[in-house]
Amino acid sequence: MPSLLQRAIHAIDPETAHVAAIRALAAWGTAGTPMAPPAPALPTRVAGIDFPNPVGLAAGLDKDARAIAGLFALGFGSVEVGTLTPRAQPGNPKPRLFRLVEDRAVINRMGFNNGGLAAGIARARAARRTGVLGINVGANKDATDRVADYVAGVTAAAPVADYITINVSSPNTPGLRDLQQGAALAELLAACMAARGATPLFLKVAPDLDAGMIDGVARAAIDARVDALVMGNTTVSRPPLSARDAGETGGLSGAPLRDLARARLADMRRATGTAVPLIAVGGIDSGAEAYARIRAGASLVQVYTALVYDGPGLPRRIVAELAALLARDGFASVAEAVGA
């Protein structure tokens, strides 16, 4: 991104800029030309799904499935929309999104703000897609039966999505992360697996899990035959930060999350072996970092916050760099490099 344009965008309130970006991507997806050609060296098959390349967009950017075609046109092999909840909800009070420019990071406490499951699914069904579409589902903040909310999301998404992610990792819905452990997780997975039909089901967990919780998630996912684990989401921990808004509450994402995300990926790889494919999220902003996560055991990677700082050319650059690194080290495919 030209530095002047980037500075202009960063002068705008973060949430206003976010909404404007989604609108621009939605318009461009209707009439624009894709920025990135297919990458023939990088197709990979995970959970029975053929991905054009292993670089995906993480959930949270396009919460309401408004810009699917435009996001694919950036060069992503997969786009995950949502989190969608059964009923529309406004999310947490504003301000709730903060750029930490000096740290190349973001803090958010959005709180699953979205227009509801029915509207999001309808847009996803109508969208033109050139890659794999994931739909991320969650529970309403005031839900009396959160498992029922997840089942409703999985049931609605199954006929439309290439895969569904159940998100129990957001720190911005009180009590949601309690679903990541013990009997609560086993009950949730059993109910969602029964509702998903033939559509692959992924589980998204937080990077703040301790060793015992990692082992519990791994065992539950293996026992339930979950198709993949998304490792992870934003963190409530706070490594050293420099920006003015570093003290805001919410989930931290971006470059400062990198070390924690790497460590939790390694922990989950040890806990699962090769029984469940892993998807790495957190602090990925280059082909080299994507390659490192793949070598550490991830079958796919997802990005989000780095787009704020590197602009819309980022996925195309990561894919090109990743292809070069695989060729340099003699890997004929992404799958050969996983865990190597």
Phi and psi (nearest 5°) for 197? 65, -125
> Measured between alpha carbons, how far apart are the two ends of the chain, in Å?
34
Q: Is the dihedral of CA 5, 6, 7, 10 positive or negative?
A: positive
Burial of 111 (0-12, 13-18, 19+ CB in 10 A): buried
Contact by Cβ (8 Å): 294, 47: no
Contact by Cβ (8 Å): 110, 236: no
- Which among 107, 109, 100 is positioned nearest to 309, based on CA atoms? 100
- Which among 82, 65, 77 is positioned nearest to 29, based on CA atoms? 65
Contact by Cβ (8 Å): 132, 163: yes
Burial of 250 (0-12, 13-18, 19+ CB in 10 A): buried
Phi and psi (nearest 5°) for 183? -65, -30
Just list the catalytic residues.
Answer: 170
